[in-house]
Amino acid sequence: MSVVAIPHTAVRTAPRNLGDRILRGVLRLAALVLVLLVAAIVVEMLCTALPAMHKFGWRFVVTSTWDPVAERFGALPFVYGTVVSSLLALLIAVPLGVGAAIYLAELAPAWIRPPLAFLVELVAAVPSVIYGLWGIFVLAPLLRTWVQPFLGATLGFLPLFQGPPYGVGMLAAGIILAIMVVPFITAVSREVLLAVPNTQREAALALGATRWETTRMAVLRYGRSGLVGAILLGLGRALGETMAVTMVIGNRPEVALSLFAPGYTMASVIANEFTEATSDLYLSALIEIGLLLFVVTVIVNALARLLVWSVGGPVKAIRE
């Protein structure tokens, strides 16, 4: 095989023009800063959380004493509150969000899709603190006077629905969270469904399937992993959501089985106590909770991204 000698300069990929080199450098720097920024977040939080990690070790996440005066910190009630409120939210939000996405991407008449998609975007744009305000003054009283007495009377034999109806508490937090994450799940699921190739639909329709059968057999099955990713993105949102939850969950660091009881989440305890943390260890313990939250949401989001990318490809930004 004969190899034609190519002058070295011709295959060089680096631009020769000075302006090109400068712009390349600046752009690369911007991307590097982005990557370094996230690295800095990890390092900063690790460093400040270190004293608490050192002192409490793994017991931090499995003990439930939260006593700033005696400087004994266990984050179990917050972890519990975060997990339960988020799961409750998903329980409500997943069927609604996926259903709405199916309607928007597959079943709705064409004229209704753009305005409806825009409305869903607006639901996502409402600031958290406004959901919280509405939660305090509208949702909590509603739960206290109507919903909780009713649930207590009909399903009161379950430990989930026992105890006095305060209004604020785990149930209120779950409902507010569901309202807040459902537009994300809808929007991402819709993008996933739109990324399913049309040949899938055409094949099913050509065999005589109805629209719903097409959706169920050809579209949903193809986009399954992407939909799981969409749900995980919603979970990531729910885990880290702060203001609205802080305003309606009742902020009591206890592990209670009942959904009527007040609870506390990891994000809320940081929001409430960060500026009041008087000692270094107290602050360090709060930052460790933040670090935990960070690690968990990063894992959930990374997993979600990979699943969503598996359907749509990484290049199309799926906007939240």
Q: Binding to another protein (CB under 8 A): which residues in 4-23? A: 13, 15, 17, 19-20, 22-23
- Under rule CB under 8 A, how many of the chain's residues touch another protein? 98
For 158, residues 6+ apart whose C-beta sits below 8 A from its C-beta are none
Interface of this chain with another protein, residues 185 to 224, rule: CB under 8 A: 186, 210-213, 215
Find the shortest distance in angstroms from Cβ 61 to another protein: 17
Give the interface segment with another protein, choosing from 64-72, 114-122, 157-165, 255-263 (CB under 8 A): 114-122
Q: Which stretch binds another protein (CB under 8 A): 25-33, 73-81, 160-168, 221-229?
A: 25-33
Burial pattern 4-28, b for ≥16 Cβ within 10 A else e, equals eeeeeeeeeeeeeeeeeeeeeeeee
Q: Are 40 and 252 in contact (CB under 8 A)?
A: no
21 vs 159, beta carbon nearer another protein: 21
Interface with another protein, residue 230, by CB under 8 A: no
Q: Could you tell me if 266 and 293 are in contact, meaning their C-beta atoms sit under 8 angstroms apart?
A: yes
Interface residue with another protein among 73, 78, 131, 161 (CB under 8 A) is 131
| Token pair belonging to 3 | 């190899």
CB of 121 to another protein, least distance (A): 7
Q: What is the dihedral of CA 257, 263, 269, 275, to 10 degrees?
A: -150
Tell me the backbone φ, ψ of residue 226, rounded to 5 degrees: -65, -35
Question: Which span sits near another protein by CB under 8 A: 58-66, 119-127, 144-152, 221-229?
Answer: 119-127
Question: Which of the stretches 1-9, 52-60, 162-170, 271-279 binds another protein when contact is defined by CB under 8 A?
Answer: 271-279
**Which of 127, 141, 149, 164: binder of another protein (CB under 8 A)?**
127
| 184 or 260: CB nearest another protein | 184
- Identify the three-state secondary structure at position 74: coil
Q: Which two tokens stand for residue 162?
A: 């026992």
Q: CB neighbours of 139 closer than 8 A, spacing ≥ 6?
A: 167, 172, 175, 176, 248
What is the nearest approach in angstroms of another protein to the Cβ of residue 192? 14
Are the C-beta atoms of residues 196 and 223 closer than 8 Å to each other? yes
Measured CA to CA, the distance from residue 295 to residue 252 in angstroms comes to 24
Q: Is 317 in the site for another protein (CB under 8 A)?
A: yes
Nearest Cα neighbor of 299 from 213, 219, 236 is 236
Judged by beta carbon, residue 110 or residue 317, the one nearer another protein is: 317
Q: Which of 257, 314, 267 lies closest to 290 in space, CA to CA?
A: 267
Query: Which residues inside 56-85 make contact with another protein, applying CB under 8 A?
Result: none
Contact status: 267 vs another protein (CB under 8 A) = yes
Near another protein by CB under 8 A: residue from 223, 236, 250, 263: 236
